[in-house]
Structures are given as C-alpha cells and as structure tokens.
Amino acid sequence: MATALPLLNAEPDAAACGRPVPAEALSDTRAAELATALKALADPTRLRLMSIVAASPDGEACACDLTEPVGLSQPTVSHHLKVLTAAGFLTRTKRGTWAYFRVTPGAVDRIAALLPR
C-alpha cells in the first residue's frame, strides 16, 4: 500500500514558471483517499478513543468502558467508534451484549507512510 504512488498525469505547463509537476506527487485519487482517512483521525474525541483502546492492557476495550473517559453519551461514542472502524483504524468484535474494539495493526502506519514529507 505504501509503495509506488501513482504518477501524476498533469501536463507540464510551459507557460507558467516553467517547472513541470514532479512525477512523484500524489495523484488526485490517492490524495482524496488519504484526506478521507486523515479526516477520520482528525477529531479529538476519536484520537482519545483510539489511544484508550491502544493503551488498554490487552489491547482491547469494551464500548461500555469508553463513554466515561471521554464524557460523552453512548450514542455519540458509538458514532465515533463507527467512523474509526469504517476507516479501518479499529476492528470490532461483538461478544454477548457488548462490542469490543482493537486498534487495527499497521493501519496508522500505512497512512503515515503515505504522507508527503
């Protein structure tokens, strides 16, 4: 995933300052995907939820344990957990009444590796 960024297909613009777009730049498609993933992370509550799950002793946290530390209602916390799960940053397992969450191994690293630097 983190290799071989697609070539940018913009034409060099001889009428502008004269420097063509570097071939290694992110494509429109890749930039849009990356922005979507970053938007899922770019929320203080979601970052706190991710960090609480990540720091849980066995790497797993019950949804029932996640409302109190962030001080929000269960529906609001469920929404944030759903956004993180849909983006691939958390994985969800249902056991009995409750859903349990883990940080998806490598997901953050794959996004981080794609960031321009």
Query: Would the CA dihedral through 32, 33, 34, 38 be positive or negative?
Result: positive
Identify the DSSP state of 11. Answer: P
**Structure tokens, 53:** 């799950």
Q: Which residues contact 69 (CB under 8 A, 6 or more apart)?
A: 48, 52
Q: According to CB under 8 A, which one of 1, 2, 6, 28 is a site residue for a copy of itself?
A: 28
Binding mask 68-97 for a copy of itself (x = CB under 8 A): xx----------------------------
Q: Min. distance of Cβ 58 from a copy of itself in angstroms?
A: 10
Alpha-carbon distance of 88 to 107, in angstroms, equals: 7
Provide the binding-site residues for a copy of itself, judged by CB under 8 A. Answer: 8, 10, 13, 16-19, 21-26, 28, 31-32, 34-35, 38-39, 41-48, 50-57, 61-62, 64-65, 67-69, 98, 103, 107-109, 112, 115-117
